[in-house]
Structure 1
Amino acid sequence: MLNINQRLQEVFGEAIRASCPELDNPPLAVTPNQQAKFGDYQCNSAMAMAQMLKAKGVKVNPREIAEKIIQNLPDNELIQKTEIAGPGFINIHLKRTFVSQLLSNLLVNGVVPPPLASRKKVVVDFSSPNIAKEMHVGHLRSTIIGESMCRLFEFLGYDVLRLNHVGDWGTQFGMLIAHLQDQFPDYLTVSPPIGDLQAFYKESKKRFDSEEDFKKRAYQCVVRLQSKEPDFIKAWKLICDVSRNEFQKVYDCLDVSIIERGESFYQDLMTEVVKKFEEKGFVQLDEGRKLVFVPGQSIPLTVVKSDGGYTYDTSDLAALHHRLFEEKADIIIYVTDSGQGTHFQVVFAAAQMIGWYDPQVTRVEHAGFGVVLGEDKYKFN
């Protein structure tokens, strides 16, 4: 399908070069007109060309340059008329017959994207709800925006991988498992009827905050889970499955198919990632924590906590490493609220610092969206 803007740039590029041959690489600015009453497109090159000529000691009125550009326009199939406005804007009116033919072709044949020079792989990280918690409006926005991006990339011919980086690991599972053991002691043989996992989470959190014995047992459960003891892995899977079933109802409504790779998926890789940064001399110790400082960034990454545990920083570094080296992605996009922008900026900078990717070759970006506020002006969940 013909690209109107591109074709106009070809036509005006030829006219601009013919109008001022003495200028090397003259500016070419053709954009859709902001106000339809002034035409369909607008060429704004004349003013910039006048400045370039002035720098060479030649003073020319931009409107005169605009007139020269119009006089040098080659014969073409799409321009009906042109008008000079203001200090030197050229308003462009398209031929109605041309537009009509273009629309007819579009209706008959549909939109056909230009072919890709090579089939590139795109990884889009979106949705990412937390196990045992409700999917809030931020996760919903991420899901809708991320899926929309994926469909556009697929339409253009890219190989797209949808990834769901769910929060399915961490200390909160210790209290959930301890509470599960108390409420459903036969959970290993009989599937526990947990209807409302959010309420179950709140009950366990209340006990964790108020009962010292329960708190100690919750920490023990975390250790045993991280040691991958079979009974605790089963309890963890039971809790995750309840959440997955609820999340899937949303995904089914939106017709979204997404591969889950939560924090648990990257547990073993996190150890390797920390080791890689240590071997390069990028890790500094601070009161038992292991930090990575990236030049030009305002905050460091905490890759190991003082208790020896890993953090979101570590899991995001591990996930990025896996997507670069195992998935061999050409483009990686993270779709979260803009509040996480600084975090991803530091993660990407750290990955470049250690030599994982060249931003000129591999595109890694955070696609942020605004936080939804409630009537109280606080973050709405």
Structure 2
Amino acid sequence: MSRYFAGTNAELALKEIVHNTIQRTFPSLKPPEVLIGLGKTTEYQCNNAMGLAKLLSTADPPVKMGPSLVGEELKKNLEENDIIESFEPTPQGFINISIKAGWVAGSVEKILKEGIRPPSIPKQKVLVDFSSPNIAKEMHVGHLRSTIIGEAICRLFEFCQYEVHRINHVGDWGTAFGMLILYLKHQHPNFITETPNIADLTLFYREAKKCFDDDPEFKEQARLQVVKLQALEEESIKAWKIICDISRNEFRQIYDRLNITIEERGESFYNPLIPDVLKLLEAKGKLQESNGAKVSMPTDRKLITAIDAKDMAKLVSPHLVWADKSNKVEFHPNMIAALREVGVLKGEDGAEMLSISKKETKPLNQFDVRTDVDRLVPLLQPLFKGKLSPLFREVFEAAGIIEGEYVTVPRFTFPLMVVKSDGGFTYDTTDIAAMYHRFVIEKMDRVVYCTDVGQYEHLRMCAEVAKDMGWMEKGSWSHAGFGL
């Protein structure tokens, strides 16, 4: 008897059919995820035959069967249904699938009569982080793009009957507020009893910034004002709330015009979580001291014999060459010896010339850690490819990053700054705390960030920390990025 599929989603129906066919054809295997994509000569294509051939070759007992033969076996066991017109394996191991015209016609008729229905998929708890303007600043085109894209994503998720949380991660905390609060106190000394009438908050910000840039005394007082704000001093919190309320009203006018529904949950929302999150990071060894600050760098353990130039570039800085607080570049003596050994450093002390590539040579004292390390490292391959030079091993062992035949390699070229040397927190701190709240406390299945593409690497670093901490075992994150 032919099986009838009442829905209108061909891809989901095909996945169910192929899944059942794999189970029936190869009952000893755990069915893999069904891979259905658009075909080149037919409506759809199944790409599971090659993967199944590999699984069969490692089964107990192993079965030797090529991808094309796997496809033929699946075709023999295909259940009768009302959707598939043809199911044809190719010699390369792909399976071309054509859809019956009658099923397509019936699906179109159903849509015309009943409208588009939500797909039959598992429900999820999803958080969409979008819009996210900064308090006391105008929303620019990037914020508007994020707002519109995020709203569209939320509506799609809601159509799928997901539980959707629309979050506006506004910039309502940080060092800029010391400047703004101090300027408010200067311009409106009675702000506690008389709410100031600030018609143009953007102009207010510019004037405060000018005082900050031009007046050293104002700058120092603004820094002290930040300390008061972080200590939740009553007068400072009152001034902060006034500034936030004025800015919030301006944002609301734009959201109302665009028919945007969003819940504000700014950076300040996560402040109470930060001490506990730092303790968790510390307990798992995810914080390292660096020039009086605390940083976090996701890492991987790799065989020393397997490290490549990209890995080595992340090890060279900061272990072999680094910039101090004044941005002066320092070289470990072993690095100097290594550079001389491979012949890229020549000249006497104080007048050394360094070949950072086959085409460029510059004075050693003009070396730029940010741009030159990646170009220099390939020239050092004789000292690390396949076998690590004693010059490098000595430094890495002293740093505690070598254990047996393995070396701990950073996943990124620079770490997240979690606690500054003065004890203050950064955007990195807040975003890590936000991930903790979203995945551990709120137990989100998925979090989507709608930001410009320039934010992706920062978010990926925070997500890697969250994964290493085990916060995302049951959840995932994605980035809906856009150009500037």
TM-score (norm 2): 0.64
Q: Is 1:295 equivalent to 2:299 in the alignment?
A: yes
Equivalent residue runs for 1:57-72 within 5 Å: none
Q: Is 1:101 equivalent to 2:106 in the alignment?
A: yes
Counterpart of 1:3?
Answer: 9
Equivalent position SS for 2:171: coil
Q: Is 1:362 equivalent to 2:366 in the alignment?
A: no
Which residue identity does 1:41 align to in structure 2? Answer: Y
Q: Is 1:213 equivalent to 2:217 in the alignment?
A: yes
**Distance between the aligned counterparts of 1:329 and 1:57, measured in 2?**
43
Counterpart of 1:377?
Answer: none
Counterpart of 1:135?
Answer: 139
Which residue identity does 2:478 align to in structure 1? Answer: H
**Distance between the aligned counterparts of 1:221 and 1:26, measured in 2?**
61
Equivalent position SS for 1:163: strand
CA-CA distance at 1:59 after TM superposition: 8.8
**Distance between the aligned counterparts of 2:94 and 2:240, measured in 1?**
66
Equivalent residue runs for 1:222-371 within 5 Å: 222-296=226-300, 297-298=411-412, 299-355=414-470, 357-359=471-473, 361-363=474-476, 365-371=477-483
CA contact (8 A) 1:50 1:59 kept: yes
CA contact (8 A) 2:180 2:205 kept: yes
Which residue identity does 2:43 align to in structure 1? Answer: D
TM-score (norm 1): 0.79
CA contact (8 A) 1:53 1:59 kept: no
CA-CA distance at 1:174 after TM superposition: 1.3
CA contact (8 A) 2:53 2:64 kept: no
Equivalent position SS for 1:235: helix
**Distance between the aligned counterparts of 2:56 and 2:429, measured in 1?**
55
Moved more, 336-345 or 312-321: 336-345
Q: Deviations over 1:207-240 (max 9, x none)?
A: 1111122212222322222222222212111111
Tell me which of 159, 180, 186 is aligned to 2:163.
159
Which residue identity does 1:171 align to in structure 2? Answer: T
Equivalent position SS for 2:251: helix
Counterpart of 2:356?
Answer: none
CA contact (8 A) 1:31 1:43 kept: yes
Equivalent position SS for 1:336: coil
Equivalent position SS for 1:124: strand
- CA 1:6–1:320 in 2, change beyond 3 Å: closer, same or farther? closer
Runs of at least 5 residues in structure 1 that lack an aligned partner in the other structure:
373-381
CA contact (8 A) 2:456 2:481 kept: no
Q: Percent identity?
A: 45
How many residues were matched structurally? 362
- CA 1:339–1:103 in 2, change beyond 3 Å: closer, same or farther? same
**Distance between the aligned counterparts of 2:462 and 2:48, measured in 1?**
40
CA-CA distance at 1:73 after TM superposition: 6.5
**Distance between the aligned counterparts of 2:449 and 2:270, measured in 1?**
17
Which residue identity does 1:343 align to in structure 2? Answer: H
CA-CA distance at 1:7 after TM superposition: 3.4
Counterpart of 1:41?
Answer: 44
- CA 1:211–1:362 in 2, change beyond 3 Å: closer, same or farther? same
CA contact (8 A) 2:45 2:97 kept: yes
Moved more, 182-191 or 38-47: 38-47
**Distance between the aligned counterparts of 2:286 and 2:66, measured in 1?**
56
Equivalent position SS for 1:285: strand
Runs of at least 5 residues in structure 2 that lack an aligned partner in the other structure:
1-6, 301-410
Which residue identity does 1:370 align to in structure 2? Answer: F
